[in-house]
Amino acid sequence: MNKKTVRDVDVDGKRVFLRADLNVPLEDGHVTDDARIRASLPTIVYLLERGARVILASHLGRPRGKVNDALRLKPVADRLSELLGRPVRITGDALGPGVQVAISRLRAGDLLMLENLRFHAAEEANDGDFARALAGMADLYVDDAFGSAHRAHASTEGITHHLPSVAGLLLEREVDALSRLLGSPRQPFHTVVGGAKVSGKLEVIEALLDRCRAILVGGGMANTFLAARGVPLGKSLVEADQLENARRIMSLAEEKTVTFLLPTDAVVAPQIHHRAKAQVVPITEVPRDQMVVDIGPATVAAYAKRLGKAKTVFWNGPMGVFEMSQFAAGTNAIARFLADRARHGATVVVGGGDSVAAVDRLGLTDLLTHVSTGGGASLEFVEGRQLPGVAALDDRDGTSA
């Protein structure tokens, strides 16, 4: 990555505004998945150990510019405190006199967390005054929020116009891993893509057609491709307005001699419910009163056979409704198989919130080559788009982008 990182600057005694992506799921006031918090630890610890006075900032959820007590960052601060083994203080707001007083009392090696940035509408609007106010807290800006790097917000882009700005260790690792994936991946390079809808992933699939030897499709999005081929799918989710796009993508794959695999069997159920009775059927025999909820065992076997030949794999999106255990077999099988491929030397990169949650739930994260914390950001990067939060950082030659 041709951007300066925390390793390129002296942070001793400096006030460092650290933008992290601590947007984690909560339930009853507790963090249910701390993967993003744990991923931010290396940069936090790096700064603290080198005497920085760290002002940690993040968003949580979508409060749409209004204070929402259910989206306060205290549960995140509590979990971070447990992981660091030290108390993490949190402000009552992201701005204000109280925040300035708290910052003035920070000593070298101290950490202060700001309240949810998105309680201010000015954050997502990339308001110049808000960005200047955030910058006024610090001497240096460190961006470690790869999951928000595709958004030009005040704390990810606007602030960089007022402070020296460098990448954190997580953001650096994300960009380097995805750059290698796109630059010169070891062949054969295969992609596994899933999730509920094809509409949000058309661009990434099209971009990967120039790099991959095979694309394996699962999840609800496979239904739209199957429907485009005339397969009846009962009550399954199908994006009727994307059928033509699906045909276009499959035609492009054929033109570029990229193998495009769709499920040959499926797990179906009358409804998405933990008590629903599921059954496996050929994909051409989905009952009218049933819906596809997972790929079937024959599809898992076919996908595993194809992936067994791959030296590089990019996986984005689950194979079914993996949140419910009776519909998770396909996703879990692919996750375990890819972890095994990584153990045997293949490069396996996982991107996307649900895919990450699946491998984390199975305890496979550390076995894979790279597990991205950025869902939308990783997809846009793979599409070849410039990410505002990365582009805005200072270049290694001393200039800002």
Contact at 8 Å (CB) between 145 and 58?
A: yes
What global pTM score does this model have? Answer: 0.90
Confidence at 264, pLDDT banded by 50, 70, 90 = very high
Round to whole Å and give the CA distance between 278 and 326.
8
pLDDT at position 187 is 95
Domain contains 388: no
Contact at 8 Å (CB) between 20 and 144?
A: yes
DSSP string, 174-204: HHHHHHHHHHSPPSSEEEEE-SS-STTTHHH
399, pLDDT greater than 70: no
102, pLDDT greater than 70: yes
* Same structural domain, 127 and 243: no
* Same structural domain, 114 and 24: yes
Q: What is the mean pLDDT of the chain?
A: 95
Instruction: Name the residues annotated as catalytic.
Output: 36, 197, 353, 376
If one counts the domains in the chain, the total is: 2
Domain contains 150: yes
Task: Average the pLDDT over 2-14 and give the result.
Answer: 97
398, pLDDT greater than 70: no
* Same structural domain, 118 and 247: no
Question: Could you give phi then psi for residue 29, rounded to 5 degrees?
Answer: 75, 15
Round to whole Å and give the CA distance between 367 and 194.
21
- What are 181's two structure tokens? 């994936």
* Same structural domain, 110 and 229: no
* Same structural domain, 131 and 156: yes
401, pLDDT greater than 80: no
* Same structural domain, 235 and 352: yes
- Helix H or strand E encompassing 102: helix 97-104
Domain contains 400: no
Domain hosting 297: range is: 184-383
- Helix H or strand E encompassing 259: strand 259-261
CATH of the domain at 14: 3.40.50.1260
Round to whole Å and give the CA distance between 350 and 337.
13
| Domain limit, last residue, from 172, 197, 214 | 172
* Same structural domain, 126 and 203: no
pLDDT at position 232 is 96
pLDDT at position 374 is 85
pLDDT tens per residue, range 242-262: 999 999 999 999 999 999 999
* Same structural domain, 119 and 258: no
* Same structural domain, 12 and 157: yes
* Same structural domain, 249 and 330: yes
33, pLDDT greater than 60: yes
pLDDT at position 28 is 92
264, with CB counted inside 10 A (0-12, 13-18, 19+), is: middle
pLDDT tens per residue, range 332-370: 999 999 999 999 999 999 987 688 889 988 999 999 999
| Domain limit, last residue, from 151, 172, 193 | 172
pLDDT tens per residue, range 114-146: 999 999 999 999 999 999 999 999 999 999 999
Q: Which of 57, 109, 59 is nearest to 84 (CA)?
A: 109
- What are 52's two structure tokens? 């920085």
